[in-house]
Amino acid sequence: MSWFNDYTLRTVILGTSLLGLFSGALGCIAVLRRQSLVGDTLAHASLPGICLAYLLFRSREALPLMLGAAFAGLIAMGIVSVTQRATKTDPNSALGTVLTIFFGAGAVILGIIQRGHDAGQAGLDKFLFGQAASLVTSQVVAIATIGLISLFVFAMVFKEFKLLAFDPIFAESVGLPVRRTNIILTGLLVGAVVVGLNTVGVILLSAMLVAPGVAARQWTDQLVKMVVLAGLFGCLGGGLGAYLSTVAAEMPTGPVVVLVLVAWVVISLIIGPAKGIAFRAKRRQEATS
């Protein structure tokens, strides 16, 4: 087990597994509420936040950049929600509009930073495109901190989330604070996105959020089990992906993790007992014979 003694490798695998755990569990929010593309929007929209945080603090420490990303993400989701509530704009249009505008604004600020030629900015775009292979301990600690806080909050609002996800009209009629719960749930997604940006980057992030939840859905019909399974799948997929990418082949970590998770979705679709294709075929056969 030589890889276990390799400090860098251990950090990368630990960080990616933790990320998979958190984004998998929290991603169930997005999967069940038909908000899978929110993760993609949040990830893109974080760019101006990251750049502004860098300009403000002049540091590439993970925490200030994550805070900047979270701030920009929340503003972006606020605009999406105002647009949808005030006008007849459909969710896809609102998300696409906000995503591209925020990312464009981020590109402008990034251009200004890069024009400055100061040495500190080198690698700022790595934050954007993922840098799993160069994860350091402080980043893993940041991932664990934000992730644990998010999971704790998720557990607190779990009952409300359950109602909102399956019967929003009933939830409203029994006096559930729908708007506040919505804001908290969106905040949790922001947390998951911010944690993931560091590792897999903007584009691959939506798969980190969505894939474990979709796979878990094929194995169970119960919400608690789904969230636990999604966390487990995310964790295992993240760890396996990181291991494969560095040990078995010289490949970029983020994409390998995503492909491992997507492959598991396909397998779950076919053999998963809850809604699996194979299971349904077997049942049909039993019914006819």
| Residue closer to other proteins (CB basis): 100 or 138 | 100
Least separation in angstroms between CB 233 and other proteins: 13
Least separation in angstroms between CB 256 and other proteins: 7
| Residue closer to other proteins (CB basis): 51 or 66 | 51
Cβ atoms of 185 and 239 within 8 Å: the answer is no
Ramachandran region, residue 27 (left: φ > 0; alpha: ψ -120 to 50; beta: rest): alpha
| Residue closer to other proteins (CB basis): 144 or 223 | 223
Least separation in angstroms between CB 151 and other proteins: 21
Cβ atoms of 259 and 241 within 8 Å: the answer is yes
| Residue closer to other proteins (CB basis): 139 or 218 | 218
Among 16, 14, 20, 73, residue whose Cα is nearest residue 210: 20
Q: Please, where are the H alpha helices in the chain?
A: 2-5, 7-32, 36-57, 62-86, 91-115, 124-129, 137-156, 158-166, 168-173, 178-217, 223-243, 253-271, 277-288
Least separation in angstroms between CB 43 and other proteins: 10
Is residue 74 classed as helix, strand or coil in its secondary structure?
helix
| Residue closer to other proteins (CB basis): 125 or 176 | 125
Q: Where do contacts with other proteins occur on this chain (CB under 8 A)?
A: 30-31, 34-37, 39-40, 44, 82-83, 86-97, 99-108, 110-112, 115, 125, 129, 203-207, 209-211, 213-214, 217-218, 250-252, 254-256, 258-259, 262, 265, 269, 275, 277
Residue 150 to residue 248: CA distance in whole angstroms:
33
Among 130, 122, 144, residue whose Cα is nearest residue 242: 130
Least separation in angstroms between CB 75 and other proteins: 12
